[in-house]
Structure 1
């Protein structure tokens, strides 16, 4: 018992929290000690808050995000401007911008030979070509043909396929994950990775430090390095008040020899494969790619690795082009376009891709999402599509992983349902899949939730698909899952107690900051 207490007290999150409290306390003491100058300090803070509000109003941020910041700044002007500078202003330093510019040049060079297929799509469907062209231009991700895609759900299926493909690796294995946790899933994968290192395979791992704060020991990267696995930690969680806490690497990417790739919602932790019950049955999804389009995932990984690794000299991305090619075209391959989204480029690629799919839909839009915390543009798109006769269905969890986030999700039900959107909750447990299926033609599988964090603050990735066999797999799985779901009715939305509605309304106002 005593050991558990000491372990908790000296856990990194406790030390970080204490450090931040000390910093806040120090600020309060400074104000108190220099109370005779308080009027000047107060005037300075008010001026700073007003300048912050003016900057927010004139920024390119989403209007809901602006309002969520403006309200607390004006309510508490003495601290509002300071906190916005610390947590609300996403800007790279000059050194980082210079480094990113060099990486962007290498990315563009590595992908420059792949910019012609969109013209082939245009001959088939101009609408599809326009969507692919947007992703090419604003995510820097070309579209590919001749790529096999396989939709994998639930997490147990992805786990088995991943182990099979990892064992086949001959040249390199790249893994980039938001969460890695020691347990059944990661231990089995780690065993394979160690074996591959002994065979001379180049194995690299990137994990997000905040995502792994409670799941991995401190400096776990050193342990991996001692095993021969190269490792980088994304945005290390340090006890200093900083806006960088907001920007996390939420991507889940596996690349094997540049020919096989995985992405989707599934992290490397046991709840994702239902090895233990955390929030009921965990429903998740992933997509496996084989073929040309994996090159996009390879370049995505290498660009982040290039940014994080201080001693990195592997700036020639072409050296990692696949050395194994599929001799014959894949049947029913269609067109595949893996893409990434960054919070640093003032372009909400993930949201725009989703909006394009909803606005251009003719027959149906089927959506899996763990969180439904959306802005006015997304609400308008969903309700307008439903009012126009498009069959819009959204599947969300019944059992929450975070009660306050689930409360905000449910706050959007009424306005959507009364417009004709059909909403279902997955009664066995928690849905963590992030998928779109549209008109038997389009599909998206990736890491991008329908919430402000994914759409505006996190580094994300997904795969846009047009006329691939996996689009039907996403659709069929969605329809089959509805058999164990409860449909939300307008009556049930309106019968919610007034105090619950009040709590949801308050939480919804600050949803962009959650």
Structure 2
């Protein structure tokens, strides 16, 4: 037994995860050791660093940005003298982040020609609902995400249904397939997709596939792009994990995008792993959602994909080869569709602004599904204010969490939310991974954006805003069906939580902006 445990420990230590962790800890040890050395043997230099710490605190107090994030940094600086200040400066001076920001700005300018807003659509939206026209103006003029008509939306209330539709559409691909996913793991789901990709690549269809670098830790081989190249599939790892201290490794590509021939696009919470279609059980039944677009709005997802793909490319992309075909007539029942993306480098909290918009303009209700509930002050105030105004606000959370610490932290918000009138339900069968807001029977958004700091501030994300689309009714119906399988959390339950849970949750809240 001891030999087996020892060999297991050695496997972890000498695995990619273990080696990377050891190297990162070694760098931190050197960093801390250097500061201790200066304190003991170079007091004048150490004294100068104390002055730097004061300057950093003053800068933090006067800087723009999320107040909770600033507070967390101030605690780090004060609790860990000198090291905290130097680490903050190290984070803010990352050259790789500055390069990525400039590169994404350049690519956004390149794709701008293909994401221009049609004025007739905006005029019609102003006549229909001015508040949504204002959101449209913000997303289009500020960020390059236009509003479309002539786009059919199809909502999927489960990963299984999205998976079946996606396989069907992949089989019909004639020109190109673009895939961008956060999690990809070998198994039934991915193998089914990969078989089609191999077949299509062999038939001359251009296939590009990229996934986040987290997958290379334990889910896929590190040389997986080279393996897929043998089948004619162009593959990239986005933001590879490296054994060096770098804040850019915090900026994961959390998007889920599939574009086929510029005609069809998928997005939502569903990744390419078996738990997302309940082929493998993790945390009980996995409740997820997705949406498929067919029509002109697909072009925005095509451009989002190509921008990310070309971050490390030196040649200019031939964007015109991937444009969506224009529709001949107007389908009024399809309403308005706005695909949008969020980037940690655009100085805009796009996902949060869309959520604020839905909350602030609701007249009857806002129904929400989210796996995490780690709220900043502004989101907390908005949710409670809307509920206090007589708007029905219901949030569906998991009953079986995937991250115990995130669930414990989420419960610290329950008391204030419930007291203000927000209703919180937990999904009894298992884990809710859906990211859905639906309001008043005419407005909804489905995407990849969780109600936590990582999604709202640190990750690359995407979503689809729908208005006056006939599919919104199905989203609300799915919410109602899901609610029947939930348990309503009462104020008494929150008050009767264990002392350990209450204390641990409040301690975790100090580091909430990092979760």
Taking structure 2 as the reference length, the TM-score comes to 0.95
- SS of residue paired to 2:161: helix
1-structure distance, mates of 2:290, 2:258: 11
- Cα distance in 2 for partners of 1:40, 1:415 equals 49
Residue pair 1:139, 1:341 contacting (<8 A) in 2 also:
no
Is the 8 Å Cα contact of residues 157 and 475 (structure 2) preserved in structure 1?
no
How do 1:42-53 and structure 2 match up within 5 A? 42-53=46-57
Please tell me whether residue 208 in structure 1 is matched to residue 212 in structure 2.
yes
**2: CA distance, partners of 1:196 / 1:505:** 52
Instruction: Indicate the residue corresponding to 2:164 in structure 1.
Output: 160
| C-alpha separation in 2, matches of 1:89 and 1:399 | 39
Return the match for 2:113 from 96, 109, 113. Answer: 109
Counterpart position of 2:190: 186
Query: Does the 8 Å contact 1:115/1:142 carry over to 2?
Result: no
Cα distance between partner residues in 2 of 1:28 and 1:131: 47
Summarize the alignment of residues 264-279 of structure 1 with structure 2, pairs less than 5 Å apart. Answer: 264-279=268-283
Q: Which moved more, 1:424-433 or 1:227-236?
A: 227-236
Q: Who is 1:400 aligned against? A: 401
**8 Å Cα contact 1:45/1:79 also seen in 2:** no
Alpha-carbon distance between aligned partners in 2 of 1:94 and 1:409, rounded to the nearest angstrom: 33
The match for 2:381 is: 380
Residue matched to 2:313? 309
Q: Would the aligned equivalents of 2:444 and 2:466 in 1 still touch at CA under 8 Å? A: yes
- The answer to whether the 8 A contact 2:174-2:261 is kept is yes
Alpha-carbon deviation of 1:29?
4.2
Task: Determine the structure 2 residue equivalent to 1:338.
Answer: 339
**1:258-301 CA deviation, whole Å, 9 max, x = no partner?**
01000001111111111111111110110000000000000000
Of the structure 1 ranges 211-220 and 457-466, higher mean CA displacement relative to structure 2 is found in 211-220
Moved more, 92-101 or 283-292: 92-101
Specify the SS of the correspondent of 1:412. helix
Please list every run of at least 4 consecutive aligned residues from structure 1 whose deviation after the TM superposition is greater than 6 angstroms.
Answer: none
- 1:93-492 counterparts in 2 under 5 A? 95-112=99-116, 114=118, 116-310=120-314, 313-322=315-324, 329-330=330-331, 332-492=333-493
Gaps of 5+ in 1: none
- What secondary structure sits across from 1:462 in the alignment? strand
Partner SS state of residue 73, structure 1: helix
Task: Kindly state the Cα deviation for residue 498 of structure 1 after the two structures are TM-superposed.
Answer: 3.0
Tell me, yes or no, if the aligned pair for 2:181 and 2:256 is still in contact at 8 Å. Answer: yes
Q: Equivalent residue of 2:218, what SS?
A: coil
Deviations 1:340-374 (A, max 9, x none): 01111221111111111101100000000000111
42-51 or 91-100, which deviates more: 91-100
Q: Does the 8 Å CA contact 1:210/1:236 hold for their aligned counterparts?
A: yes
Shift, 1:88, TM fit: 5.8
2:497: which partner in 1? Answer: 496
C-alpha distance in structure 2 between counterparts of 1:406 and 1:93, whole Å? 30
**Aligned to 2:368, what secondary structure does the other structure show?**
strand
| 3-state DSSP of counterpart to 1:469 | coil
Deviates further, 254-263 or 23-32: 23-32
2-structure distance, mates of 1:89, 1:358:
36
> Does the 8 Å CA contact 2:116/2:144 hold for their aligned counterparts?
no
For 1:200-233, what per-residue CA distance to the aligned partner results, in whole angstroms no more than 9, with x for missing partners?
A: 0110011110254221111212112222111121
Displacement of 1:139: 2.6
How far did residue 421 of structure 1 move? 0.6
Shift of 1:497: 2.8
1: distance between equivalents of 2:339 and 2:376?
25
Contact conserved, 1:135 with 1:141, CA < 8 A, in 2? yes
Provide the C-alpha distance between the structure 2 equivalents of 1:9 and 1:390, rounded to a whole number of angstroms: 53
CA distance in 1, matches of 2:93, 2:396: 33
Say what the alpha-carbon RMSD is for the aligned residues: 2.0
Distance change (3 Å), C-alpha of 1:116 and 1:11? farther
1:141 deviation in Å?
0.2
Partner of 2:81: 77
Instruction: Count the aligned residue pairs.
Output: 511
Determine helix, strand or coil for the equivalent of 2:162: helix
